[in-house]
């Protein structure tokens, strides 16, 4: 095992006589160890660069708790040269009383300066000469300077940088260096190290033995590195680290040594350079730049100052930003995994994205919701897209990424684009200011989904009521904790088949998991539970549950305890989307059952046919996916229409089916749910058809297919829809 210590030390060119290697569960644990055991005093200062991982920022807590000062800084003069390095301080942070800190610093005062060898947000590399600058006190710091008389200890967070360029500790004698092995080899997670200079390690020990406070002694007990500082075996015997992991570490070092770090460095840097140059050169058809790169202002510096990490955001031709989550999701549909966000580096994030303190805070408060992420706030991106190259990356990876960005985000000369059809510019139809009337459409089929997220049934004719199709989405399943069950969380729901028999007055449900069908009377007093009020998607419903027989049946069918509830009355219109922009509900006036957005979803057969053509031609272009043919049911529509041109429905403002008038509420935004296929009792997932739709039906981060409708008229008795009815569509 000690061979492993030596391997680690030699990786950093650290002499075993001068440095110790303490194994931890990761870089974060190593940083915590330093924070907990550093000899802080009220005269100490913890100074750290703005660009730092949260794990480094965590040290601040320990320093402040011991009465020390903490200060974030920017470093000027990274590019070497003769002039002294300038350190630009932010506000000094302190906790508690000032009085007791009037004492001068003494030679026993220890200060800590922490910086990353490579910023994990932007890839910016810090000059390791900073180590010597700090230790020799040869820096300039304007403003309310901190006393220089104590000793500066320097910590390098090499977790990111070591993968391609480990600090050379024979040249830059940092006191502490932290590393995580999975960042070097790609595996295994859960092992890292603190490399500490002997003198510095002794300081930590002293704190440990003096037992400065109970918490320090207690929390360090589980590392106990003093007793085992050389006996790595004992540490492993704790069972903390699996032997498999250790074996793989040896294997990891063997790979790096065989490739050599200098070759890894050149390889990854050339990939990053290729990507940076290509991204900087991307232009929209109007000539505007597509990509903003972070951490680099001067293209001359492209190769020297930046590691193999490329951090960027993309803009539309009009200068607005593509959200980073949108980029990430589209990439994953193309089987490219990107990391986006702030990467646990709030300082760098704020600095490069130009976010203020309050904006950072409000971003945190806004939270993140699936497919509705706030990746843009007040017109500014709240994170970035990051590409990191390692020894395993290939030129093919880089090229695939570029191809994806070009095809998904760079605007080409105008063709027939989705924005012409949806909302943005109305279809140029009415030359004389008269509404165009088209009569080539027919109602093909009608589908009712009585229970939210369960299968629906298709009928030739069906009555309408004030909520839409009679009994559509009138029931739902909720968990015992009150959470609404949906297919997203419980795909099994898609296998529950439903049928409403109006003559018998029954809802009939079937499941492969239940021997018997379940029949629920529509009118009788089978509902026995108390009526209660439920809030769903910020709307209020009066609902009623059933007895245990019904609930047991559904619990068996979905494989988890749940209860069935029926909507009786839609209480009021809480759907105040103007104030709560999060709510998905689009239809602000109509009465609704348990639908997400609107009373009806309409899909066109012609649009489906066009989509299937595209899916087919993608297959011919040699993608290795299996061919997928979708039918309308994939989109869970209520109404399928036929006739006309594909996507003509996008341009409709109103339509009339038989005697009933409908208003279009606009396109339906699609998510991964349409990638699930329910066949023969199993759910199959793929990237299609969403990936293909994303390539031509995307507008402002949303992917549209089908349109949402509501009825215009209040429903008189006996209004029915019939398959085969003619549809008259009006385009504004
Ligand atoms: C990943 C990373 C860390 C945290 O490492 P863990 O292994 O997750 O503890 C710290 N700093 C930087 C710069 C990193 O990239």
Pick the CATH number of 261-411 from 3.30.1600.10, 3.20.80.10, 3.90.1150.10, 3.60.20.10: 3.90.1150.10
Distance (angstroms) between ligand 1 centre and the Cα of 220 equals 20
pLDDT at residue 231 greater than cutoff 70: no
Mutate to test the pocket of ligand 1, among 159, 167, 188, 388 (most ligand atoms within 8 A of CB): 159
Stated pTM of the model = 0.74
- Higher-confidence position of 649 and 231: 649
Distance (angstroms) between ligand 1 centre and the Cα of 240 equals 19
| Residue 730 φ/ψ, nearest 5 degrees | -115, 125
Distance CA 566, CA 542 (A): 8
Whether 192 is in the pocket of ligand 1, judged by its Cβ within 6 Å, is yes
User: Residue 401, Cβ neighbours under 10 Å: how many?
Assistant: 20
- Higher-confidence position of 385 and 382: 385
Distance CA 585, CA 236 (A): 55
Distance CA 267, CA 165 (A): 12
Range with lowest mean pLDDT among 268-272, 624-628, 704-708:
624-628
Q: Name the residue among 57, 45, 14 with its Cα closest to residue 194.
A: 14
What is the pLDDT at residue 139?
81
Q: Which CATH class is domain 2-259?
A: alpha beta
Q: 72 has which bridge partners?
A: 48
3-state helix, strand, coil in the chain (%, to 5): 30, 30, 45
Distance CA 702, CA 116 (A): 37
Token pair for 686: 């793929």
Q: Name the residue among 244, 221, 246 with its Cα closest to residue 232.
A: 246
> What does the pLDDT look like over 49-81, one tens digit per residue?
999 999 999 999 999 999 999 999 998 764 555
What Å distances lie between residue 596 and 483, 650, 661, CA to CA?
A: 15, 20, 21
Q: Indicate if the alpha-carbon torsion angle 401, 346, 32, 48 is positive or negative.
A: positive
Distance CA 3, CA 21 (A): 11
Q: Which atom of ligand 1 is nearest to the CA of 189?
A: 7
Contact call for residues 568 and 578 (beta carbons, < 8 A):
no
Mutate to test the pocket of ligand 1, among 115, 160, 180 (most ligand atoms within 8 A of CB): 180
Mutate to test the pocket of ligand 1, among 157, 190, 349 (most ligand atoms within 8 A of CB): 157
Q: Which helix (DSSP H) or strand (DSSP E) does residue 629 occupy?
A: none
Q: Which atom of ligand 1 is nearest to the CA of 116?
A: 13
Whether 268 is in the pocket of ligand 1, judged by its Cβ within 6 Å, is no
Q: 110 has which bridge partners?
A: 151
Ranges of each domain in the chain = 2-259, 261-411, 449-582, 598-731
What is the pLDDT at residue 273?
92
Distance CA 120, CA 159 (A): 9
> What does the pLDDT look like over 272-298, one tens digit per residue?
999 999 999 999 999 999 999 998 755
Q: Which atom of ligand 1 is nearest to the CA of 28?
A: 9
pLDDT at residue 328 greater than cutoff 70: yes
Q: Which atom of ligand 1 is nearest to the CA of 160?
A: 15
Distance (angstroms) between ligand 1 centre and the Cα of 393 equals 20
Whether 706 is in the pocket of ligand 1, judged by its Cβ within 6 Å, is no
Q: Which atom of ligand 1 is nearest to the CA of 343?
A: 15
If DSSP codes are grouped into helix, strand and coil, which group holds residue 334? coil
Report the catalytic residues: 344
What is the pLDDT at residue 486?
92
Whether 55 is in the pocket of ligand 1, judged by its Cβ within 6 Å, is yes
Whether 120 is in the pocket of ligand 1, judged by its Cβ within 6 Å, is yes
What is the pLDDT at residue 533?
83
User: Residue 399, Cβ neighbours under 10 Å: how many?
Assistant: 14
| Residue 704 φ/ψ, nearest 5 degrees | -100, 140
Contact call for residues 406 and 282 (beta carbons, < 8 A):
yes
Q: Which helix (DSSP H) or strand (DSSP E) does residue 88 occupy?
A: strand 85-93
Nearest CA to ligand 1 atom 1: 159
Nearest CA to ligand 1 atom 5: 27
Whether 26 is in the pocket of ligand 1, judged by its Cβ within 6 Å, is yes
Mutate to test the pocket of ligand 1, among 115, 120, 126, 164 (most ligand atoms within 8 A of CB): 120
Whether 180 is in the pocket of ligand 1, judged by its Cβ within 6 Å, is yes
Instruction: Name every residue whose Cβ is closer than 8 Å to that of residue 641 and which is 6 or more positions away in sequence.
Output: 441, 442, 443, 444, 602, 603, 604, 605, 649, 727
Distance CA 545, CA 475 (A): 10
Highest average pLDDT, of 83-97, 184-198, 222-236, comes from 184-198
Contact call for residues 22 and 225 (beta carbons, < 8 A):
yes
Range with lowest mean pLDDT among 133-142, 341-350, 371-380:
371-380
Whether 387 is in the pocket of ligand 1, judged by its Cβ within 6 Å, is no
Distance (angstroms) between ligand 1 centre and the Cα of 343 equals 9
Distance CA 230, CA 434 (A): 88
């Amino acid at each position: 095992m000690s061979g492993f210590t030596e391997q680690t030390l030699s990786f950093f060119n650290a002499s075993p006589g001068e440095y110790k290697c303490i194994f931890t569960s990761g870089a974060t644990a190593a940083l915590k160890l330093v924070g907990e055991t550093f000899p802080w005093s009220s005269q100490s200062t913890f100074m750290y660069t703005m660009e730092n991982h949260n794990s480094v920022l965590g040290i601040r807590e320990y320093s402040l708790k011991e009465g020390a000062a903490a200060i974030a800084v920017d470093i000027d003069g990274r590019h070497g040269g003769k002039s002294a390095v300038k350190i630009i301080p932010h506000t000094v942070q302190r906790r508690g009383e000032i009085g007791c800190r009037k004492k001068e610093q003494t030679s026993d005062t220890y200060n800590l300066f922490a910086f990353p060898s490579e910023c994990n947000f932007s890839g910016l590399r810090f000059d390791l000469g900073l180590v010597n600058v700090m230790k020799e006190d040869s820096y300039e710091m304007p403003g309310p300077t901190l006393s220089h008389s104590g000793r500066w200890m320097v910590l390098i967070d090499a977790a990111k940088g070591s993968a391609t360029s480990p600090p050379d500790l024979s040249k830059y004698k940092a006191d502490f260096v932290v590393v995580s092995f999975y960042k070097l080899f790609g595996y295994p997670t859960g092992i890292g190290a603190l490399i500490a200079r002997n003198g510095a390690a002794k300081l930590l020990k002293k704190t440990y033995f003096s037992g400065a406070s109970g918490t320090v002694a207690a929390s360090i007990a589980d590392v106990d590195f003093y007793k085992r500082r050389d006996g790595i075996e004992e540490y492993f015997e704790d069972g903390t680290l699996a032997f498999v992991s250790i074996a793989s570490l040896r294997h990891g070092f063997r790979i790096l040594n065989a490739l050599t770090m200098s070759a890894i460095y050149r390889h990854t840097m050339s990939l990053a350079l290729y990507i940076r140059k290509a991204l900087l050169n991307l232009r929209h058809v109007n000539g505007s730049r597509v990509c903003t790169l972070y951490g680099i202002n001067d293209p001359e510096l492209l190769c020297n100052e930046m590691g193999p990490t490329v951090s960027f955001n993309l803009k539309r031709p009009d200068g607005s930003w593509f959200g980073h989550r949108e980029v990430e999701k589209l990439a994953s549909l193309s089987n490219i995994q990107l990391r986006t966000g702030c990467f646990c580096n709030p300082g760098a994030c704020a600095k490069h994205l130009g976010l203020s303190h309050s904006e950072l805070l409000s971003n945190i408060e806004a939270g993140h919701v699936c497919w509705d992420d706030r990746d843009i706030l007040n017109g500014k991106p709240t994170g970035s897209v990051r590409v990191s190259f390692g020894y395993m990356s290939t030129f093919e990876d880089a090229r695939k990424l570029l191809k994806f960005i070009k095809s998904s985000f760079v605007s080409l000369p105008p063709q027939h684009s989705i924005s012409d059809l949806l909302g943005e510019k109305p279809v140029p139809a009415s030359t004389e200011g008269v509404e165009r009337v088209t009569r080539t459409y027919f109602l093909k089929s009608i589908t009712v989904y009585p229970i939210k997220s369960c299968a629906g049934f298709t009928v030739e004719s069906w009555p309408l009521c004030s909520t839409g199709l009679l009994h559509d989405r009138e029931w739902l399943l909720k968990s015992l904790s009150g959470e609404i069950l949906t297919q997203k969380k419980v795909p099994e729901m898609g296998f529950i088949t439903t049928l409403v028999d109006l003559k018998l007055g029954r809802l009939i449900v079937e499941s492969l998991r239940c021997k018997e069908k379940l029949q629920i009377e529509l009118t009788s007093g089978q509902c026995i539970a108390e009526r209660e009020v439920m809030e769903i998607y910020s709307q209020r419903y009066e609902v009623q549950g059933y007895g245990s027989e019904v609930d047991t049946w559904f619990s068996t069918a979905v494989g988890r305890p749940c209860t069935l509830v029926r909507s009786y009355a839609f209480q009021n219109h809480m759907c105040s989307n103007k104030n709560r922009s999060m709510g998905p509900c689009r239809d602000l006036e109509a009465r609704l059952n348990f639908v997400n957005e609107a009373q009806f979803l309409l899909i066109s057969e012609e649009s489906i046919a066009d989509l299937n053509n595209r899916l087919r031609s993608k297959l011919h272009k040699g993608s290795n996916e299996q061919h997928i043919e979708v039918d309308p049911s994939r989109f869970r529509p209520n109404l399928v229409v036929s006739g006309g041109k594909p996507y003509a429905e996008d341009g409709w403002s109103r339509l009339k089916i038989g005697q009933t008038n409908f208003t279009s509420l606009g396109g339906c935004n699609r998510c991964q749910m349409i990638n699930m296929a329910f066949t023969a009792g199993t759910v199959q997932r793929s990237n299609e058809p969403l990936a293909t739709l994303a390539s031509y039906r995307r507008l402002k981060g949303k992917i549209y297919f089908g349109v949402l409708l509501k009825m215009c008229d209040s429903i008189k008795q006996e209004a029915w829809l019939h398959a085969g009815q003619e549809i008259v569509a009006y385009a504004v």
